[in-house]
Structure 1
């Protein structure tokens, strides 16, 4: 019996905690149900019931309710599992009674606080996550939803060590920002979710959703090419599971992408396929999301009558129309449709509904912020009362402590004098070290500025002076070769070809020393051009950028360009890499650079101590921008990942560490 118990216990807990799976939406429910018929402890049966309740919640609420009640029965006498059963009761009642469920989520979390193990931490994270969902879906308060996930659910999941649930929460944060049309912030958390989920067991369900949402985010940002890459990744991920429910998200995301790409008939075909599958799987909300994609495709195809009929049908559908953000999208779509059909009275009626809803949401958000401020004020008042009570208590105890204090004062003075001398020594030593470091930074800054000025001067001289001279010589020789006398001079054509090659090489050298594109079009365009110049015709460098602002001073743009140039040169020419991923991302005055390759690799310690000119230049330029560099490389394995964070100057004055 003991080996069976051990096997069952080891299987149920990871499945319950992490929602891991061998295939998306495909758990062996029968095997779990058979656990309830075996001679195993009630605690194991309770966990199996809760896991099965999760499994059936989206497809059959009656079965989910039965397993929740059964699990509660097996939890009697165990305070920990009783708290967990309260969580699952709240999950069950959330759709019909969100306010009651919210109170139950908080009660369950409060009870679980007494237990300090990883299991309790994960269940507490689930409590905060589902409590946050009440604000998003029932109170139309995405700001509170995002705040609770970032400050409550995610830290607890990280303490529990559950990367799968951490990645799911990052994904939900991205949903919140996307619904607020904060596509840049949504993209940041989507990439973080993908990175967290990528190598985790049982990641298919959430990783597929992350790919789909990232594609939608790029489509809404007007970047169909990037959207297509993530839909391709989702299709490859789901290929082994043809019946997975996650294909519904694929149809929705690909339909949106095709509409943005103006391939309306293909978009309509995919949305129809998705709608049929959603009806077959009894997924009403997903069906309604696909109907919205159908509306967008019909509207942009200018089939206005069909688009209007789909939108009107969707305006009567629950649960889609119950979410304020969805109502705004649909009302605005009907305004545009009726206006394009020249039905101005109907367009005006829908515009009034849209404006009223928009104003109501703004008022609701304002009231939520006022309530939050009121809570803070009350907390401050309570804190004042506590401070006053503490002051009275301190005054009563002061006379008693005074005698004891006098007896210790002489000894304390001696210790204090010694500490002052010791601190003075260390302070002096630290100041000397800091002065040396500042001097080194000034020298590095002067060298870097001098190098760039000299590069610019030499590039200009090469291009304008020597380049012009060579071009003039080539023209003269071409004229000689073109007349009847020049044709009799052997080798003149070869000399012209050599001059032409020299001119191209001269221009390449001048561009490399100071790229003209950086000075005219900015950093993002220059980095893309740099990636295209390494191996023409072979796109081994995948370049991704996010939020690069055009107001970075040109000198700092040049430094970032040189850092990336050195890193790519090392990866392709020295490490022999065939695939390189370059990511550049700006958040405020922080600029992030990530380079990953499949080359021969190098020890991280060796990289930081290597004295070659390339690595010295990288380190000096990072120091110039007050940055830091982290290197991830495993001994004896190919590939390396280099992560760099530097600080740039923006319109809002930058603040640097230290």
Structure 2
């Protein structure tokens, strides 16, 4: 009998903030809850909520859902956290036994993470695809799982430099080949995973790899190699604290003893494993051991006990949840019933097995069914089959006599159909061509119109900036110089005038204030820091200049490059300047966070304030808040702007700009 016991299980990692062992601790959950209540950072709160959703997936699904929703809401302004909320959503849907929504959530996470070029995001993309593959495998798509591992999960793990993830993906791939009886290929990937885990001192993963290798060698009839793998696993297990790891060892050991005909030791290993599985409430692992117990009984021709084990397993949802296991149970029930002489029931189970089996086993199953049919049917049934065969031969002879006439009629009909088809295709192609030309013409007109609008906006913005520079220069160099000269003359006059000296000093003080205000206006119209030191320094100075005792502005910048064209720098500066002005004057904010970052040709701006907020549905009707100017500049840089706000809840504005040449 074919024997493959599916080992794949749904594995998700939370390596960003904590270990799997920590997640089992109530103190770990308490510390995360404390962060959600006391931290002043939205990003820290969001991260803690997401990890709590993972912690409660199998403990309290309702709490897991609440933490996921809160984490997604709190981390909406942070691209990585927003993407990870869908990753943990995939975990939550899996825990709720909804594989369709689970896969959709992992795909959404991968799409969002692909926009963030960091090792962390790439590593979570690899984990997302691995989980998608496991979902596909659970539905019986072993080939799809292998394809995802080879073309998605493993390359992404390698790109992220996550060697442990690479090793685990190799081990998953070995299970695919083991389950499809390609044992030599499975061996290669098992050894590769061991070579990854051994230098990293990943003891738990090494134990799993050795147990998997032992099972694969047993199925490949390489018993000395299987014994070596079992001995290697045993050495590590003796000092390993997690005693539930013995369960898989006993499974592999029982397979080894069963194949080497030491059935007594095989059953002893199974009993040890079952006791441990019950102690740690590992239902699926317990059922894997019972499936191995069936094989041991079956190989001793003890069909009664073998069938009893399978009857129990056929009622267990954990075992029957995968196609591979259902095939084994159905086939085993067919074999044991046949061995006990119950041919009608054997035939019924083998028919169910045939309907479920894939195309690879189809011909073998057909032969098995035919063999049971021969045992089941009486001699009269065989005569009836023979009579039907004779009748078919007569029908074939009659059909042969009519074939020539049918062929002639068919040929004429085909010629007419071909002519009609060519005529129809010619008409349809001409119609499609005309429609395509019309659509192309309309598209060209639309593109010309859009291009004209872009040129108009570009000319208007450039003209506005040139006028700002001219007026700033005139104010600073012309009027500013004249006022400075007047100040100097008045200062000299004050020293020679005794009686009116105090009045002159008062006038000089007013004049000095006027010169300072004049220079401030000139700097706002064309900041010197932008021209001299670049965009990063200019934005920092802008935030500093707009701070006051009543308004605190935090400025954060990441990777802003110096080679951005100056016109583009000025446009970005104006956008930030306008949004800060809106936050202070209109939103009456007391705390503003400004984040600016650059990733190659993309420039990201996030401005978050604690002001009074506004109804975003009324943006198009708003007057005097300058958002129209901001939108025009964003469009000029081929960008996008997203506004998240509500009355009395502050405002968050996310802008993505194209600054490439």
TM-score by length of 1: 0.49
When the two structures are superposed, what TM-score results if normalisation uses the length of structure 2? 0.49
